[in-house]
Amino acid sequence: MKEIFKRIFAPALFLLLLPLLSLAQDRSVSGVVVNEKGEPIGNASVLLKGSTRGTTTNEKGEFSLSVPSSGRSQILVVSSLGFGSKEVAVTGTTVRVALSSAVASLDDVVVIGYGTQKITKVSGAISTIKSEDIQKVNAVRVEDAIQGRASGVNVIQSGSPGSTPTVLIRGIPSYAGSDPLVVVDGVQQSLVDFNAINPADVESINVLKDAATTSIYGVKGGNGVIVITTKSGKRNQKTTLSLNSNYGFQEVQRKIGVLNASEYGAMVNEGSTTAGGGVIFPNLSALGVGTNWQDQVFKRAPIQNHSITATGGSDKVSYFLSAGYTDQAGIVGGMDKSNYRRGNFTANLNFQLTPQLKFIVNATEVLLNSRGVKENAFNSIIGEALNFDPTVPVLNTVPGTVGKYGFSNLLLAEVHNPLTEMQNTYNKNTGNKLYGKFEFQYDVVRNLKLTTRFGYTKYEDNSKTFTPLIFYGINNVDNSMNADGSTVLGKHNSVSSTRNSNFNYRWESYANYDFSVFEDHHFEAVAGITFLRNYGNQIGASKQDVPFNSWTFADVSAATGVNTATNTSANSGYYYEYWGKNISYFGRLNYDYKEKYLASVSARRDGSYAFGSDRQFGTF
């Protein structure tokens, strides 16, 4: 029996123990990562320097990592978002690492046109907003995160959920309106494109505000430039899943003071008697407080944001994947009449093909759905709520008349019951957008990098608007429906549909070269070329006489309107195309002497097909 054990089981036992014997050459190191106050830092990256071994800390800041048990000292590189990285020598089996905040660090860099620059070397005016600040406000659009956080930048909201606000950088500019140029991960876009960006995907926002920082973008940078950098994965990081969800309500903080019914009646009486007429309201006390129409149109509106992300990477590949959903109802109109919904799907991938060559792919698909009410006008919903007759009851109490809501016998044009206006507001807009880039970065030699980037944006949307027949009140000149529900002679309901399609791409190639002369004189140079191609079309149709005066049947194919000699707009349509080509050359040279004295020179030469052959180029 002993002989059998020696010949069979002993060798087998040795083979089973062999992996354990090899593992015994490693030793386990555990530790904790904290901040300056001694508070634990979760999800911090802990890497063994010179290897691919790494881990992340748990919510208590704790970690455990196997390191070789060789005689030489091992180095751990510890880092976390918002903190400076730190290298720690491992001499025992436990280690405590305290990271310092990177806020206001002199080594911070900011993203500028076609490159980055240390914050101490920036000669122009730049404001920076980081992801931590964006997350605090639960922003629906990126502009919401900028508002109040960048000096010299004014964000004026238009009102409807998801609508494009007015953004003014250092006052009212002159070139092509007031919108600043938007650059997302190096790809130029417009302020309208902000509706497609999930703020939760943004790593940083840099607002370039003066000529020193915007001139490299030429005339398009004249209104300022907003540079967006989205999040990306980290190499040698385990997959990290993050879920963020919030639900809340929005409501008006303060309403505008208006006359109540008795006060309004007194002013009407005064105006009538002054003009030689009689008293309109003989018993003012009977009017009471009446109706404050702001109370009727302003509602408590729900808002929700949900996002899930996955971040990680290996030695050669890093990734950031995210999906998000936003739903915001309007304070005026609520879910039925004023609403904005957005779904985002993002994939940012980095591939280290060789030690010198990196390939970057960013792609985002966005689904949009919105509807809104009339705004920014005297007879908008809010304008009517401020100006409509407060002596009118909310509901219609006049026998023999159609319509759910009350009407005025004094106001017979322009200003109507805001509830009637809102009830008869019908529209919707659906769209989808795909944008992103393909980019190669090649380190030719030390401090010389070549970059070529293909950025693209494809957008399509469909919109529909229905204008029904409406009864505003007896003798109201804007009526298209009589009090008995019949149609006013010569009036029609109508439906309009529009489809937009656009595709544009931009191919940019440029070189960055940093060098020093006599150590104290440092130069940062960039030079490149850009090709732009833009193409799009729009088709629209409008038709009168929708069956049953109903949004349900509001479609151009269902309407029955026919053009006649006296009505040429019963059935109409249009189609047009547009396209454009541009080419640009650009360059910049930054200089500093011991990081104390700074100078920056930029130039750009733009060319467009839209001008004559002798005027196609301009230098800025």
pLDDT along the chain (620 residues), means of 10: 42 38 62 88 80 78 82 76 77 86 56 78 81 77 81 80 83 70 89 86 89 84 88 88 91 92 95 93 93 94 93 92 94 90 95 94 95 87 95 95 94 94 95 95 93 95 97 95 95 96 95 91 94 96 96 95 93 95 93 89 88 82
Place of tokens 């997959």: 239
Phi and psi torsions of 570, nearest 5° = -70, -30
Q: CA-CA distance, 351 to 615, in Å (whole number)?
A: 43
Report the distance separating Cα 402 and Cα 473, nearest Å.
9
Across-strand partners of 605? Answer: 585, 619
In this prediction, residue 80 carries a pLDDT of 77
Q: What is d(CA 328, CA 161) in angstroms, rounded to the nearest whole number?
A: 6
Show the tokens assigned to 565.
Answer: 């000699």
Cβ neighbours around 396 below 10 Å, total:
18
Q: Where are the alpha helices (DSSP H) in 406-557?
A: 418-423
Rounded Cα–Cα distance for residues 142 and 204 (Å) = 11
Put the strands of the sheet holding 74-79 in their side by side order.
54-56, 45-48, 74-79, 86-90
Separation in Å, CA 211 to CA 20, 113, 126, 223, 354: 65, 12, 11, 10, 38
How high is the pLDDT of residue 403?
93
Residues composing the chain:
620
Q: Which residues of 4-18 are buried (b: 16+ CB within 10 A; e: fewer)?
A: eeeeeeeeeeeeeee
**Every domain range in the chain assigned CATH 2.170.130.10:** 109-230
Question: Can you give the C-alpha Rg of the chain in angstroms?
Answer: 33
CA–CA distance, 61 with 244 (Å, rounded to integer): 21
Q: Give residue 202's identity as a one-letter amino acid code.
A: V
CA angle 203, 207, 208 (to 5 degrees): 135
Give the span between the Cα atoms of 485 and 470, in whole angstroms. Answer: 9
Local structure of 143: helix, strand or coil: helix
CATH superfamily for domain 109-230: TonB-dependent receptor, plug domain (2.170.130.10)
Nearest to 607 by CA among 616, 615, 599: 616
Q: Quick check: pTM over 0.95? A: no
Return the pLDDT at 174: 59
Which pLDDT does position 117 carry in this prediction?
A: 78
The CATH class given to the 16-98 domain equals mainly beta
3-state SS, one letter per residue, for 92-121: CCEEEEECCECCCCCCCEEEECCEEEEHHH
CA pair distance 162, 4, nearest whole angstrom: 80
Start and end residues for every CATH 2.60.40.1120 domain found in the chain: 16-98
Question: In b/e form, how buried is each residue of 53-89, taking b as 16+ CB within 10 angstroms?
Answer: bbbbbeeebebebebeeeeeebebbbbbeebeeeebe
DSSP state of 481: B
Rounded to whole angstroms, the Cα distance separating 47 from 83 reads 15
Contact 300, 100 (CB under 8 A): no
Residues contacting 332, CB < 8 A, separation 6+: 159, 297, 298, 299, 338, 373, 375, 381, 382, 422
